Chain A
Amino acid sequence: MRLIDEGLQRLNSKIIRMANLSRETVELAVNAYLKNEKLTDKIFHNSETLRVLQDEVSEIAVELIARYQPVASDLRYIKSCMEIAYGFSRFGRYAYDIMQVLEVFGDLSVCDHTNIIKASEIVHKMIDLSIEAFINRDLEKSLLVEKMDDEVDNIYESYIANLVKEKYKDLKCAVSATLILRYLERIADHASYIAEAVLYIVKGERRPRK
């Protein structure tokens, strides 16, 4: 056991805790939205917890850098943890934003949630896969996630395009759906960043930015 390994363990547990909490929070928020339930307080609480956890991850990372001058795979792992922690905290934030839409717009049970359901299923899958890829350093799974990101983007972009072309039935439904799909698209983006980090940790390479 190297001296740094104890610190890396701590970092790892924090990240895994964040992963599970943020995945759970996104699921909760989306389901609550679809069922028209207001779980605002709980979601808010989770989101704040995730912010705190992100700060703790940052602190551990900086401590490890200052004390152990990590290099190579250790360094790449620590750097990625800092980036990923930000991503997880964003999940919490977007989950809260989704609840906020419900708060603001009130009853949305009349709206057509098909697109949202389609997108959210993919997003849940992406979150699961990216966390698995990270924990297991699985490059194949991370590639899958990045492909799924395109699907979510398509759903979002085609919904907007449709909205512009055709008339909408209900302003409330149109705007709220736009917002939710936007949040889901951002969550998907962050999930794909997490998947990208796996490549960086394992090989030190980055995907070329589009």
Chain B
Amino acid sequence: MKMFSLKKFYNLAFISICVIAFILAMIPLAWILIEVIIRGISALSIELLINTANPPGIPGGGIANYIQGTIILVGLASLIGFPVGLLLGIFLSEYKEHKLAPYVRFFVEVFAEFPAIVIGIFIYVILVRGDIFKLFGVEKVCIGGFCIGATGFAAIAGAISLALLMIPIVAKSVEESLSLVPISIKEAALSLGMSRWKSVFIISISYARSGILLAYILALSRIAGEAAPLLLTVLGSFYWFTGLFDRIGALPLAIFTYGISPFEDLKAQAWAASLLLILAILILNIGLKIIIKRKFAW
């Protein structure tokens, strides 16, 4: 009788500890969410979403250009980051026996852990200041009519730094998705007379397509909120997008700059921007996941 109630007590105690731990962990998260939602909603208005930023000190103005900036940067970054990450992921998963495989894997693993700010500094030095060109003793490199040199703070540099962040995330997820393709499927493809690369690109990719798309979404939501590399590569801007080699604004930058500014209306705008960012990430992760599961899963 005593043993029985002792066991019950331990059971209850353990469960209680778990619940308490969960609540403790959830409190800050819930607090942040609540704060962002409350302060963000009160600052949100149509003007905010339509107007571009005003120079500091002048009331009115909105965050429209930052929204545009984030979309452009993230879009550009994924143009580079997704294909490269995909190919790396395919290589890691399907060509394990290749000589270079261990080096590539090491590379990807290290890069995945790189602090974002370090990538920012890297791009700052190489592209923004142009040290890579100085290294080769040229001011710019021209191919056909297209020339590239030290960019200064530029959208392209920001996009590249975000892409570098994106690549290892995509690569690792793609590798994981592909590793779930059963050997029986691969063998079926090979026995039909498909060459190795065809069986990878036509069959394996197709089988793992929902996993690969989800990998992409994961990476997108990660880089959408990165401020550190952008600080060092695009610096920020109050204006609409003017060119790849010009500065550009972005939501995380706005949150940072406005958040530490002394102006109350700008601080409010920072909350609104935060809310937008969180909403965007939530929509991406939950909404698109549902869509992908419906359309691409089999």
A and B touch in the complex (CB under 8 A): no
